[in-house]
Chains A and B, each alone.
Chain A
Amino acid sequence: MTVQDQTPAQAPAAAPAAPLTRPGPVRISVDLASYAYEPEDGAAPLFTLEATSFEVCQRELVAILGPNGSGKSTLLKLISGTLKPLSGRVQLEGLEVSRLDARTRAQRIAVVQQETSLLFPIRVWEYVQQGRHPHNRGLRFESKEDGEIAGHALAEAGAEHLRDRWMHRISGGEKQRVILARALTQQPLLLLLDEPTLHLDIAAQVDLLRRLRRLAAASMYAVVVVTHELNLAAEFADRIVLLDRGKTLRVGTPAEVYQQDLLQQVFGTLLHVDLNRRGVPKVVFSGKEA
Chain B
Amino acid sequence: MRPLTPKRLFVISAALTGILLLVAVFSLKFGTRSISLVELFRILRDTAMGRSDQIDSDFRLIIFGIRLPRIVLAMIVGAALSVAGASFQALLRNPLADPYVLGVSSGAALGAILSLIVAARSPGATPFAAFVGAAAASAIVYFLGRRGGSLDSFALLLGGVVTASFLSAVIMFLMTTISGRDLRGMAFWLMGDLTTSSPIPLRWLLLVLVITIGVIYTTAADLNLLLSGEQEAMHLGVDVARVKLVVFLGASVLTGLAVSVSGAIGYVGLLVPHVMRLFFGSDYRVLIPATALGGAIAIVIADTLARTIVAPTELPVGAMTAMVGAPIFILLLRRRLS
Chain B residues near A140 (CB, 8 Å)? 221, 285
Q: Judging by beta carbons under 8 Å apart, are A133 and B95 in contact? A: no
Chain A residues near B277 (CB, 8 Å)? 120
Q: Judging by beta carbons under 8 Å apart, are B3 and A129 in contact? A: yes
What's the dominant secondary structure at chain B's contact region? loop
Chain A residues near B231 (CB, 8 Å)? 82, 113
Interface size bracket, A side: 35 or more
Chain A residues near B282 (CB, 8 Å)? 119-122
Cα of A136 to Cα of B239 in the assembled complex, Å: 14
A164 within 8 A of B: yes
Q: Judging by beta carbons under 8 Å apart, are A133 and B221 in contact? A: yes
Interface size bracket, B side: 20 to 34
Q: Mark B208-245, 1 if CB is under 8 A from A, else 0.
A: 00000000001011001101110110111111100000
A80 within 8 A of B: yes
Q: Judging by beta carbons under 8 Å apart, are B228 and A142 in contact? A: no
Cα of A190 to Cα of B21 in the assembled complex, Å: 52
Q: Judging by beta carbons under 8 Å apart, are B236 and A133 in contact? A: yes
Return the contact of A120 from the options B1, B4, B95, B218 (Cβ within 8 A). Answer: B95
Return the contact of B225 from the options A117, A133, A139 (Cβ within 8 A). Answer: A133
Q: Judging by beta carbons under 8 Å apart, are B1 and A116 in contact? A: no
Q: Judging by beta carbons under 8 Å apart, are B237 and A105 in contact? A: yes
B281 within 8 A of A: yes
Q: Judging by beta carbons under 8 Å apart, are A119 and B283 in contact? A: no
Chain A residues near B6 (CB, 8 Å)? 141
Shortest CB–CB separation between residue B192 and chain A, in angstroms? 27
B93 within 8 A of A: yes
Q: Judging by beta carbons under 8 Å apart, are B221 and A117 in contact? A: no
Q: Judging by beta carbons under 8 Å apart, are B220 and A139 in contact? A: yes
Q: Judging by beta carbons under 8 Å apart, are B228 and A118 in contact? A: yes
Cα of A191 to Cα of B1 in the assembled complex, Å: 27
B122 within 8 A of A: no
- Given that A111-B235, A139-B221, A140-B221 are contacting pairs, would A117 and B1 also be in contact in the complex, using a CB cutoff of 8 Å? no
Q: Judging by beta carbons under 8 Å apart, are B220 and A164 in contact? A: no
Closest 7 pairs between A and B when the two form their complex, measured CB to CB: A106-B237, A134-B237, A120-B282, A103-B237, A111-B235, A140-B221, A119-B227
